[in-house]
Amino acid sequence: MTAVVFIHGTGVREPGFSALAGRFSVGVTGLRDGLRVVPYYWGGEHGATLAADGASLPPVSGAGRRGPSVPGAGDDDTEAWAALYADPYAELTLAAGSGTAAGAAPAAELPPGSLPPDQPLRTRL
Q: Give the model confidence (pLDDT) of 68-118 as tens digits.
A: 455 555 557 888 888 888 888 887 777 766 445 445 566 677 788 888 888
Residue 67's pLDDT band, with cuts at 50, 70 and 90, is very low
Residue-wise pLDDT for 22-51, tens only, equals: 999 999 999 998 999 999 998 888 887 777
SS3 content of the chain, % helix, strand, coil (to 5): 35, 10, 55
The pTM score is: 0.42
Q: What is the Cα 114 distance to its own chain's centre?
A: 26
